[in-house]
Chains A and B, each alone.
Chain A
Amino acid sequence: MVRLKHFRFYFGVLISLVVMLFLSLGGGPWGAERSIGHWTGALFQNVCHQNPERSLLFSGVPMAVNSRCFGVFSGLLAGWLLIPALTRLTSKKPWELWLLLLAVIVQIIDYTGNLFQLWENTNMSRTVLGLFLGMAASMAVFRLFKPINKKITDHG
Chain B
Amino acid sequence: MDEITEKQDPKYSFSDYWPSIGIVGAIFSLITFVGGLFFGYQQINSEPSGSFLSPFMISSGVLCLVSSIAGLIAVWHFTREVSPVLKLGQGAVIGFLTGAVIVVVSVLLSELWILLVDPEYNEKMLESVIANFEAMDMPQSTKDDMIDAMAESIESQQSIFRQIFIGIPITGLINLVTALIGVAIFAEKKQNDF
Which chain A residues have a beta carbon within 8 Å of chain B's beta carbons?
6, 9, 13, 16-17, 20, 34-37, 39, 41-54, 76, 92, 97, 100, 111, 114-115, 137-138, 140-141, 143-144, 146, 148-149
Contacts and interface: CB of A to CB of B under 8 A. Distances in A.
A20 B177 CA distance: 13
Contact of B170 (A43, A137, A140): A43
Given A9-B88, A149-B192, A141 B184 contact: yes
Contacts of B177: 13, 76, 137-138, 141
10 contacts: A41-B149, A41-B153, A42-B162, A49-B60, A52-B149, A53-B142, A54-B52, A97-B185, A144-B193, A149-B192
B159 to A, nearest CB: 11
Given A36-B152, A97-B184, 11 more contacts: A13-B177, A16-B173, A37-B152, A37-B156, A42-B166, A45-B153, A45-B157, A45-B167, A47-B67, A49-B57, A144-B183
Interface residues of B, number: 45
A137 B181 contact: yes
Interface in B75-120: 88-89, 92, 103, 106
Contact of B184 (A49, A76, A143): A143
Interface in B169-190: 169-171, 173-174, 176-178, 180-181, 183-185
SS class, residues of chain B in contact with chain A = helix
B181 A52 contact: no
A139 to B, nearest CB: 10
Given A43-B166, A47-B171, A137-B178, A146 B61 contact: no
